[in-house]
Structure 1
Amino acid sequence: MSAPNREAVLPQETAAAVPSRIRRIARHRHRTVPVLLLLAALVAPFQLVPFRVFQLTMVFVYALALLGLNLLVGHTGQISLGHGGFFAVGSYTAAVMMDRWDVPYLLTLPAAAALAFAVGLALGVPVLRLRGLYLALVTMSIAIFLVPLLKRFGSLTGGSMGLTLAHPEAPSWTGLAQDQWLYFAALAVTAACALVNRSLLRSRVGRALHAVRDNEAAAEVMGVRPAHYKTLAFAWSAMFAGAAGAVNTWVIAFVSPDSFTVNLSIMLLAGIVIGGLGSTYGPLLGGAFVMYVPTVAQGLNEAAPNVVFGVLIIAVMYVAPTGLAGLAGRAGRSFEQIQRKK
């Protein structure tokens, strides 16, 4: 065969190899997607302006809070309208420790998570004896009474005025700007908590939570104690929300009772439902929804942003009834089927 003929064959072979590479990538997407997301997250703060970096940082903060809510709602089958309260517990724990006691901000994270866990455990014992609508109403009361409680102890919490803090500075050895340092701090905490959550769900405890979610009576027959595991799930969920609250304090450098109304709890629940209950990427997608959609709604109609926000929620749920993560999963499977047919 002459050289020109070989050159004509090579492009055809290369073109034929492309679908096989795409199929291999599709088969290994469970490993490829996290790597690509991590690479994009590492590059983003060096390519965006400070305000966009701040917005992405808040996406991680909300994703961390939704990680806990996903554990409770998506993997245990319970419902909570009070997670804004645990978020506030973590935020105020970090703020008081930093402002009143001059504790280094990094040390406030385990304290905020531990206190939120303790509060969640204490509330979980009586609360999780309820189900359905009764459980939702009782958990919502947690967020309702928290605001006046924070205002009452003004000598510690700053009352209605809240507490204004100094933003944590980036260590000099990093060479990072303040917003970039906070971004990476939020990313690191969220990634670490996601790994802990993943290990938990893959353990015997995770299987017990799924058994309780699917059929509580059958789980009890198999030796699983539903009340025990539901209480622990409530406490773990509160712990993640408390950790998110601490990181939120680092980023915002301000806490106020009016920032943690029942609307925050409703927003978080809407975020995890929109993101995808029980899914791996649901908290991240829900965090992006909680961060960006209210801003979009405000831009579309300044007079009635809540109306626009509600319409957007209805539209998303109509297009993706299993959440954005479910929509992405269906798109990936459809793409894989198309490649197999080729």
Structure 2
Amino acid sequence: MSEVTKTQEAPEAPVGKSGPGRSWLRFLSPDRGHWLWIVLVIALILPFQLVPFRVFQLTMVLVYAVALLGLNLLVGHGGQISLGHGAFFAVGAYTAAIMMDRWDTPYLLTLPVAAAVAFVLGLGLGVPAARLHGLYLALVTLAIAIFLVPLLKRFEDFTGGSMGLTLAKPQPPAWSGLAEDQWLYFLALAVAVAAFVLVAGLLRSRVGRALHALRDNEIAAEVMGVRLAFYKTLAFAWSALLAGAAGCVYTWVIGFVSPDSFTVNLSITLLAGIVVGGLGSQAGPVLGGLFVMFVPSFAQDVNKGAPGVIFGLLIIVVMYVAPTGLAGLAGRAARSFNRTLRKE
């Protein structure tokens, strides 16, 4: 064989560095988005493999994930703080409940209205919040979560007062062949996918870049021409919109709303969920939803007398082991595993 032919041959891939045997590592790399498709395929299969109660739990995980997605947009990407996110969740839930109970509105039409009402309220809160920082902003948002419960009890003609409102759950259409729990799961999944796509597009736009600039350094962002008050207000509005949408789906799934379901504990739990899940990460809202759904029930099983103590201790342990949240811990573990395999 001539020297020219030899030089034209492709070099052999180094063992352990590349080649077909390592393509799956690149595909599952935490720096790529392929894992989202894998999670989506698994999510489509799960409701046909689990008992109804587990399907219900996963449905609630999706509901919380949508709410945490909005909180992640505000806290993780915008650098703001909110201890009143549960209030917007309640606004979406009650908007849907009142429309379905008082006006017999088709449940699908309640979703855009609930999201719009929460968006407007978030916009109204965002105006004064744009002038506040840190502890002051946290106290204002906390106050909203505190006075919401007595406010809902006061307007008994609309909200049902302390007794709340009981609603009929959406029934699956005959052509679907699905059980009620499966239909509600797929409704929640559709809303969650749409919400994640919306936020992904938002973060890739000028709005996302402005929010990141605000989070990193407000002074530098203002020097670069970012309108601080405008984007802070917009962050609150978009965050509230997603919380309202989650609250609407919550009403579909539970079929009941009452003021005691939306106390200040809900806002604190949601904030803990996104911090534990991973601020500013794609997987953070999903992992946070799993945490919010399953950890309190686990704490209840461990100690029925003091579930809050167990819940708090678990948060401390997770924050000690994974300061950047479960998403950061999973990312580091995956990268370490990939590096180990490449060295073999």
The normalised TM-score by structure 2 is 0.93
1:107-156 deviations in Å (ceiling 9; x for gaps):
00000000000000011101231110111011000110000100010000
Question: How far apart in 2 are the matches of 1:19 and 1:339?
Answer: 11
In the alignment, which residue of structure 2 is the partner of 1:126?
128
**Contact 1:26/1:336 (CA < 8 Å) preserved in 2?**
no
Q: How much has 1:53 moved relative to structure 2?
A: 0.2
What secondary structure, in the 3-state scheme, does the structure 2 residue paired with 1:277 have?
A: coil
Q: How much has 1:32 moved relative to structure 2?
A: 2.5
In the alignment, which residue of structure 1 is the partner of 2:3?
none
What secondary structure, in the 3-state scheme, does the structure 2 residue paired with 1:73 have?
A: helix
Question: How far apart in 2 are the matches of 1:45 and 1:191?
Answer: 16
* 2:129 corresponds to 1:117: no
Q: Number of residue pairs matched?
A: 328
Choose between structure 1 and 2: higher helix proportion.
Answer: 1
Q: How much has 1:67 moved relative to structure 2?
A: 0.3
Counterpart of 2:173, as a letter, is: P
Question: How far apart in 2 are the matches of 1:40 and 1:23?
Answer: 19
Seen in structure 2, the aligned counterparts of structure 1 residues 210 and 31 have a Cα distance that, compared at 3 Å, is: closer
1:221-247 deviations in Å (ceiling 9; x for gaps):
111011110000000000000000000
1:138-179 deviations in Å (ceiling 9; x for gaps):
100011000010001000000000000011100111000000
Counterpart of 1:44, as a letter, is: L
Question: How far apart in 2 are the matches of 1:128 and 1:183?
Answer: 37
Counterpart of 2:123, as a letter, is: L
Q: Percent identity?
A: 71
**Contact 1:73/1:79 (CA < 8 Å) preserved in 2?**
yes
Question: How far apart in 1 are the matches of 2:166 and 2:66?
Answer: 23
**Contact 1:19/1:339 (CA < 8 Å) preserved in 2?**
no
Q: How much has 1:27 moved relative to structure 2?
A: 4.2
Q: How much has 1:26 moved relative to structure 2?
A: 3.6
Alignment map for 1:283-298 (pairs within 5 Å): 283-298=285-300
Task: Return 5+ residue gaps in structure 1 as ranges.
Answer: 1-12
* 2:62 corresponds to 1:65: no
What secondary structure, in the 3-state scheme, does the structure 1 residue paired with 2:33 have?
A: helix
Question: How far apart in 2 are the matches of 1:145 and 1:28?
Answer: 42
**Contact 2:203/2:209 (CA < 8 Å) preserved in 1?**
yes
* 2:325 corresponds to 1:323: yes
* 2:81 corresponds to 1:88: no
In the alignment, which residue of structure 1 is the partner of 2:211?
209
**Contact 1:76/1:209 (CA < 8 Å) preserved in 2?**
yes
Q: How much has 1:19 moved relative to structure 2?
A: 4.3
* 2:305 corresponds to 1:303: yes
What secondary structure, in the 3-state scheme, does the structure 2 residue paired with 1:30 have?
A: coil
Q: How much has 1:18 moved relative to structure 2?
A: 7.1
Question: How far apart in 1 are the matches of 2:80 and 2:64?
Answer: 20
Question: How far apart in 2 are the matches of 1:207 and 1:339?
Answer: 35
Seen in structure 2, the aligned counterparts of structure 1 residues 28 and 69 have a Cα distance that, compared at 3 Å, is: closer
* 2:240 corresponds to 1:242: no
* 2:153 corresponds to 1:151: yes
Alignment map for 1:1-342 (pairs within 5 Å): 19-27=21-29, 30-342=32-344
Q: How much has 1:291 moved relative to structure 2?
A: 0.2
Q: How much has 1:31 moved relative to structure 2?
A: 3.3
The normalised TM-score by structure 1 is 0.94
Q: How much has 1:337 moved relative to structure 2?
A: 1.2
Seen in structure 2, the aligned counterparts of structure 1 residues 121 and 336 have a Cα distance that, compared at 3 Å, is: same
> Comparing 292-301 with 119-128, which one deviates more in the overlay?
119-128
In the alignment, which residue of structure 1 is the partner of 2:6?
none
Counterpart of 2:76, as a letter, is: G
Question: How far apart in 1 are the matches of 2:212 and 2:31?
Answer: 24
**Contact 2:149/2:263 (CA < 8 Å) preserved in 1?**
yes
Q: How much has 1:35 moved relative to structure 2?
A: 1.4
Counterpart of 2:60, as a letter, is: M
What secondary structure, in the 3-state scheme, does the structure 1 residue paired with 2:32 have?
A: helix
> Comparing 121-130 with 231-240, which one deviates more in the overlay?
121-130
Question: How far apart in 2 are the matches of 1:28 and 1:214?
Answer: 23
Q: How much has 1:80 moved relative to structure 2?
A: 0.1
Question: How far apart in 2 are the matches of 1:200 and 1:24?
Answer: 27
**Contact 2:47/2:55 (CA < 8 Å) preserved in 1?**
yes
Counterpart of 2:277, as a letter, is: G
> Comparing 79-88 with 16-25, which one deviates more in the overlay?
16-25
Question: How far apart in 1 are the matches of 2:28 and 2:34?
Answer: 9
